[in-house]
């Protein structure tokens, strides 16, 4: 089975489970459930639940894994709904569709995000597993979504960094917390579900941390090299918001740095964004960021030595390689 076939098979199973676990649009309060489903079924790649299931399968016990894996997609979707709000990123489109607050209003979008977050922990609390397994997964997810080295803490750091150049150490922290923590938790929770040994959990944690970093850097690269249609939102969105990503930081240090610095020094117009995109694309920043992402992807693949050979282990290794291909040819989606 190829990686694409494996991903498609897992994605189909997860879609069905998400539909089963999410209240229908005809269930009261109808508007809230419509809003939840609007964002949840807007075409997500299901990376996190797929990683959960692949990790469980690699350890040797993926039976029933799709149900608890959906908790990760609930949390991820809640974070996207809230990120898109005017108070944060103020995005009108997500995956080519109107964002939740544009479709249903800000108040309903806030409640839809809240509802998805609480549903995630309900799913884990009711999962058919030993109490110790349920408790471990709940703690892992709560930590990954929280403030100390977690998603919310990373979002806060990202918010405070807007409009100002950041050193790479701070950017590393934002990547590790805002994006990487939930990805790392995905594979660790899959291992917990399957009854992984401590050595296996450690390997999965190292893998998740590394692939999480590679994933975010590749996303940042795509924001400057992909088209609006490929992204499902305007290219250069990070530049417009004053967010200094790794390809931008590396470009500032290169031959186009002076011209780019003039543009990024104040409020940016669409024409200035396009000029900044040209400077980043034609400089060294993208290639340097891709090299960093490749090193993280290599670390991810090397971290899985304690897991037995299996199609799922092969898929985890291939996923890391696929990330780099995705940056080189920004048309596919993991």
In a domain, 32, yes or no: yes
Q: In three state form, how does the secondary structure of 119-163 look?
A: HHHHHHHCCCCCHHHHHHHHHHHHHHCCCCCCHHHHHHHHHHHCC
What confidence tier does 89 reach under pLDDT thresholds 50, 70, 90?
Answer: confident
> Mean pLDDT over residues 61-76, rounded?
97
254 confidence band (pLDDT: 50, 70, 90)? confident
* pLDDT tens digits for range 134-193: 999 999 999 999 999 999 999 999 989 887 777 899 999 999 999 999 999 999 999 999
Residue 334 placed within a domain: no
C-beta separation of 246 from 276 below 8 A: no
Contacts 24+ apart (CB under 8 A), 327-333: 327/218, 327/221, 327/222, 327/225, 327/290, 327/293, 328/290, 330/221, 330/222, 330/225, 330/226, 330/227, 330/230, 331/230, 333/45
State residue 47 phi and psi, 5-degree precision. -55, -50
The answer to whether position 255 is within a domain reads: yes
Taking the CA atoms of residue 178, residue 10, residue 128 and residue 185 in that order, the dihedral angle to the nearest 10 degrees is -20
Residue 332 has pLDDT above 60, yes or no: no
The predicted-structure confidence for 194-240, as pLDDT tens digits, reads as follows 999 999 999 999 999 999 999 999 999 998 988 777 776 677 888 88
Overall size of the chain counted in residues: 334
Of 314 and 230, more confident: 314
Q: What is residue 230's predicted lDDT score, i.e. its pLDDT?
A: 77
Above pLDDT 90, what percent of the chain? 70
**Residue 331 predicted with pLDDT over 70:** no
The DSSP output letter for 44 is -
- Which CATH number fits the domain that encloses residue 290? 1.10.600.10
DSSP-derived secondary structure letter, 94:
E
Instruction: For residue 79, tell me if it sits in a domain.
Output: yes
How many domains, in total, are found in the chain? Answer: 1
Which band of pLDDT confidence, cut at 50, 70 and 90, is reported for residue 333?
very low
The answer to whether residues 121 and 71 touch, using CB atoms and an 8 Å cutoff, is yes
Identify whether 333 is part of a domain: no
Residue 222 domain boundaries: 3-328
Please state the rounded mean pLDDT for residues 101-128: 98
Asked, for residue 159, whether it belongs to a domain, the answer is yes
Q: Determine the 3-state secondary structure of 164 from DSSP.
A: coil
């Amino acid at each position: 089975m190829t990686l694409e076939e494996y991903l498609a098979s897992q994605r189909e199973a997860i879609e069905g489970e998400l539909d089963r676990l999410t209240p229908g649009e005809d269930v009261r309060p109808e508007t809230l459930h419509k809003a939840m489903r609007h964002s949840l079924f807007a075409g997500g790649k299901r990376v996190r639940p797929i990683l959960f299931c692949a990790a469980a399968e690699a350890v040797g016990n993926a039976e029933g894994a799709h149900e608890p894996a959906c908790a990760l997609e609930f949390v991820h979707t809640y974070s996207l709904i809230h990120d898109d709000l005017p108070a944060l990123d103020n995005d009108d489109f997500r995956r080519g569709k109107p964002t939740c607050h544009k479709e249903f209003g800000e108040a309903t979008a806030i409640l839809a995000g809240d509802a998805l977050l609480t549903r995630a922990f309900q799913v884990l609390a009711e999962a058919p597993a030993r109490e110790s397994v349920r408790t471990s997964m709940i703690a892992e997810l709560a930590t990954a979504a929280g403030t100390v080295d977690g998603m919310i803490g990373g979002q806060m750091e990202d918010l405070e960094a807007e409009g100002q150049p950041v050193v790479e150490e701070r950017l590393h922290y934002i990547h590790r917390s805002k994006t990487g923590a939930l990805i790392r938790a995905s594979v660790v929770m899959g291992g917990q579900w399957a009854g992984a040994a401590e050595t296996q959990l450690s390997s999965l944690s190292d893998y998740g941390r590394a692939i999480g970093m590679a994933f975010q850097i590749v996303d940042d690269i795509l924001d400057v090299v992909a088209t609006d249609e490929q992204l499902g939102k305007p290219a250069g969105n990070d530049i417009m918001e004053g967010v200094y990503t790794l390809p931008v930081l590396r470009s500032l240090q290169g031959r186009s740095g002076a011209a780019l610095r003039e543009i990024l020094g104040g409020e940016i117009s669409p024409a200035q964004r396009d000029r900044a995109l040209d400077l980043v694309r034609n400089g060294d920043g993208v290639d340097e960021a891709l090299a960093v992402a490749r090193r993280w992807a290599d670390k991810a693949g090397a971290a899985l030595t304690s897991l037995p050979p299996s199609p799922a282990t092969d898929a985890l290794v291939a996923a890391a390689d696929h990330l780099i291909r995705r940056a080189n040819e920004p048309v596919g989606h993991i």
